[in-house]
Amino acid sequence: MDAALTGIFLARRESLIATVLRIVGDRQIAEDLAQETYIRVHHAGKQAEIENLDAFLHQTARNLARDHLRRRTVRGHLEAGRSADLSSVAAEMPSNEDLIAARQHLGRLSVALSGLPPRVQSVVIMARLENLSNRAIAERLGVSERTVFNDLKLAMGHCRDALARVGWP
C-alpha cells in the first residue's frame, strides 16, 4: 500500500495541487493541503483497504480544500466582529514599566509589613497569600476571630499609610 500510494501521489501531485489551487486560490496553501492529503490517505489506508487510490486522493484533497475555506471564512467573520474590541483587551504580559512599578510597590509593602508584630504578619500571610478565612486563622493561631479581624485592619491601615507617605495612590 505504501509504495502504491507514494507512486500514485508523486504521479498525481501537480494535478492535486491544481485541484486544490482552484478552490483555495493560494499556491502555498494548495501545496500544504496536497501534503496533508497524502498523510490522511496514508492513515486511512491503514484502517481499511482503498480500492481506487487516485480517486480517493483527489476526493480527500477537495475535502481538505473545502474545510480550509470554511475555517478561513469563519475565522474572518470572527476577526471582523472582534477587531474593534481588540484595542480594549489587556495584554497577556504586563509592560516593563508595570513590572517595575509592581516590584517597587511590593518592596514598600514588604518594608511596611516587616514593621508589624509577628502575629499580625502571620495573619496577613494566612489571609492574603494562603487565602484562609478569619475563622481558620483564629483556630490556627489560638486567638478569636475578632483578634484576627483587628490584626488585618491594623495591617491594612499600616500598609495604606506607608504607601501614602511615598505618594502611592
Q: Tell me: the pLDDT tens digits for 30-61?
A: 999 999 999 988 888 888 888 888 888 889 99
Asked if pLDDT for residue 85 goes beyond 80, the answer is no
Distances (CA, A) of 81 to 69, 86, 90, 125: 18, 10, 18, 44
Distances (CA, A) of 135 to 28, 144, 147: 64, 8, 10
Among the three residues 30, 50, 84, which one is the final residue of a domain in this structure? 84
With respect to residue 89, please indicate whether it lies within any of the assigned structural domains.
Answer: no
pLDDT (average), residues 87-100: 67
pLDDT (average), residues 125-150: 93
Total number of domains in the chain: 2
With respect to residue 90, please indicate whether it lies within any of the assigned structural domains.
Answer: no
Among the three residues 17, 50, 84, which one is the final residue of a domain in this structure? 84
Asked if pLDDT for residue 86 goes beyond 60, the answer is no
| Dihedral, 46, 50, 55, 59 alpha carbons, nearest 10 | -50
- Whether residue 53 contacts residue 4, with contact meaning beta carbons closer than 8 Å, is answered with yes
163: confidence class by pLDDT, cuts 50, 70, 90: confident
Residue with cell 488585618: 152
